Amino acid sequence: MARLQDKVIIITGAAQGMGATHARMCIEAGAKVVLTDINTEKGQALAAELGNQALFIQHNVTSEDDWTQVIAATQAYFGTINVLVNNAGITQSKSILETSLDDYRRILEINQVSVFLGMKAVIPSMQASKQGSIINISSINGLVGGAIGYTDSKFAVRGMTKAAALECAPFGIRVNSVHPGVIATPMIMQGDTKAAVEAFAKSIPLRRVAQPEEVSRLVLYLASDDSSYSTGSEFIVDGGLTAQ
């Protein structure tokens, strides 16, 4: 039997990038995956590519009403929800002085508030079945300093994960965070950015950046029953960067 056979998984920000890689690997492992994203065109195209084990739902992760609709649609289409991957997020590299209040609130809404809303929306379904795994994608900047706003939000995801893990443990629901380092996504592996990333990779103990699949394998582990005794923990995928 496949590792995630018939598990029902919601992945936010799944139309492209890391979310799309998570979705592909989960479906290959036997899961039924609901892909959510604000990018309808790319989301629908990916769902069509992945076949009848995938469903796309247009989703603004900062909207409580959208979350309610996503949970209801998932249960109606696939059944009981087993896993939520809070993957949607944005980056920002402005200094404090360059960051407006609107900038700051936007990154917190997308990176932090959406995780709170997702957990709040899915927990009742998981409580009813007395099982579940919530996987919150943070960053190494949830462990060490980085840009204002982005770092703040990713530290918050780490803290929310621990608080939710303690609250949800009596119901058999596990909550963990994943902290990727530098990942070779198409967005950064092109043009001048690619040269900068390759130069930075020399400072990583493993002397390379990660491939998206290396993060997805960790997500797959946390989604599976193999991680049945792991909750409230940080899982780091950074080639040793934060160990220095």
User: pLDDT at residue 68 above 70?
Assistant: yes
- Rounded to an integer, the average pLDDT of 148-173 is 98
Residue 193 is predicted with a pLDDT of 74
Exposed, middle or buried by CB within 10 Å (0-12, 13-18, 19+), for 54?
Answer: buried
Residue 187 is predicted with a pLDDT of 64
User: pLDDT at residue 92 above 90?
Assistant: no
User: pLDDT at residue 198 above 90?
Assistant: no
150 is catalytic: yes
Enter the pTM of the model. 0.96
Exposed, middle or buried by CB within 10 Å (0-12, 13-18, 19+), for 124?
Answer: exposed
**In order of start, what are the domains of the chain with their CATH numbers?**
8-232 (3.40.50.720)
In 3D space, the residue among 3, 9, 241, 46 whose CA is nearest the CA of residue 133 turns out to be 9
Residue 1 is predicted with a pLDDT of 67
- Mean pLDDT computed over every residue of the chain: 95
Burial letters for 67-98: b for 16+ Cβ neighbours within 10 Å, e otherwise?
Answer: beebbebbeeebeebbbbbbbbbeebeeeeee
In 3D space, the residue among 228, 229, 221 whose CA is nearest the CA of residue 4 turns out to be 221
Q: pLDDT category, 184, cuts 50, 70, 90? A: confident
In 3D space, the residue among 86, 81, 71, 73 whose CA is nearest the CA of residue 18 turns out to be 86
- Rounded to an integer, the average pLDDT of 81-91 is 96
From 77, 104, 150, 221, the catalytic residue = 150
